[in-house]
Chains A and B, each alone.
Chain A
Amino acid sequence: MDLSRFAFARPHVLLIEAPGGTGARLALERVLRERGCPLADSPADADILAVAGGPLEQFADRVWEQLPGPRARFDLSDPEYAAAELDGAAGQLRELSRQRADAASRRPPLLSESDMDMDMPAGLQMADREPDRDGLQLDVLHLPWGPALPWWPAGLVVHSRMQGDVLADAQVSRIGGETPAAGFWLAAADSVGPARAGAAARLDSLTRLLAVAGWEAERLRAQRIRDDLLSAEPPAQTHQALRRLHRRVGRSSTLARMCAGVAGNGGVDVTARYRQWLTDAVAAVDTGADPPAAAPAEDISGLLTELLTGTELSAARLLVASLDPWLSGALVSGGRRV
């Protein structure tokens, strides 16, 4: 058997969403799930870099240079071509002679001119110390999160100063507008009805939360139900599968305990948020009407900045995922769903 065909039967894909790429991401996630291709957590694990929604300026280029190779990349803007683009990229992976040439042509990153400086090995300075929340002088690392990060709201960038695994502070900024996914979900409501679109939007946010919470099996099941709800003719068992998901995820005491008390805002924590999504999704499918979803705050970026400060990394990721519907614009309270 051909080695490369065998080895790259299930290429690992680093899937990043650019603003406006919701439809493309959903289409890609569906194809990848059906083919059993794993979604990579970082470029080191990836064979293919897929940017849903077109180029993400210099961010995608930088990540592209971190893929070990064999490597292939594509930007997908039209969901129609998800399978075709993936086939094309997988084909490139198998052309090993071309991949060898690509590997030979790559050069190490040029970080700085002062390569010889003893205080700055490889042109980078060592971590500096700054006071922490308790007034101790601690080493601090400057870590940016997003936009080229899997399971992360499109276009969101958080610049953090981290001491250990705590975000000492966070600056939130956006690339490409405040609610990049709103357009997609409005169009979905037009084509499959507001109830199914509303339920699917909540499940979409749930998949990101489950991914960040490290629950792969339920994440895959939630994706399946979401994809079925958005298809023209949902299979008969979709409704039942949704109820089962509600039971398993909604009542999981382990997940509830991991998310409890994270990002409390007016008595609503991450656990309360995802439980509400599940309840609302079931209600939407049951009654055929999309329940209103009030945003946790007027200024969602401001709320995020406030809540992120002083949280531990995994709590921060859960928090961002729990605000996903409002950060992405999948559920915009008031104006949209009337």
Chain B
Amino acid sequence: MAELGAALVLLIVASAVLCVLYAVGMFVSVGRDPLVAEPFLSGHAPTEHAVSRYHVRWYAVTLLFLAFDMEMVFMYPWALVVADIGLSAVVEMFGFLAVLLVGVLYAWREGALRWT
């Protein structure tokens, strides 16, 4: 539990640093309240709000990532036991990784990694 205590102290100190910065800013900046300004559009007025459903054309990559990322979580504990278990641990893990990698190559061939 000592680690978590130290981490908590760290978070408090780091947050305090940010608070002090904001406080100093309050005192020395030329205006206390934030300026309300239009978003920068090369000198034009905005015609709509920018927050919108953004077209993420790399959507397919996120799925590929998710598949791999689940696997990676298993690799952390795996790294600790490889030396004890030996070759079978390596074969099993890399066999699985090879399957995933084939998936990556397939996605690549299908053009999922390019979107422009």
Does B54 touch A at the CB level, under 8 Å?
A: yes
B54 and A164 within 8 A (CB): yes
- Residues of chain A within 8 A of B56, CB atoms compared: 164
21 examples of A-B residue contacts, CB within 8 angstroms = A44-B37, A60-B43, A62-B38, A63-B43, A70-B30, A96-B30, A102-B30, A103-B31, A111-B45, A124-B47, A125-B47, A125-B48, A127-B52, A128-B48, A139-B54, A142-B47, A144-B44, A149-B42, A164-B56, A164-B57, A166-B116
Give the 6 A-B residue pairs with the shortest CB-CB distance, closest first: A59-B43, A164-B55, A148-B43, A103-B31, A127-B52, A108-B36
A146 and B42 within 8 A (CB): yes
Q: B residues touching A (Cβ–Cβ < 8 Å)?
A: 28, 30-31, 35-38, 40-57, 115-116
- Residues of chain A within 8 A of B51, CB atoms compared: 127
B-side interface mostly = loop
Chain A 67-94: CB-based contact to B (< 8 A → 1; otherwise 0): 0111000000000000000000000000
Chain A 152-192: CB-based contact to B (< 8 A → 1; otherwise 0): 10000100000110100000000000000000000000000
A126 and B40 within 8 A (CB): no
A312 and B116 within 8 A (CB): yes
The number of inter-chain residue pairs (CB within 8 angstroms) is 105
- Cα of A169 to Cα of B10 in the assembled complex, Å: 50
A141 and B44 within 8 A (CB): no
- Residues of chain B within 8 A of A146, CB atoms compared: 42
- Residues of chain A within 8 A of B28, CB atoms compared: 3
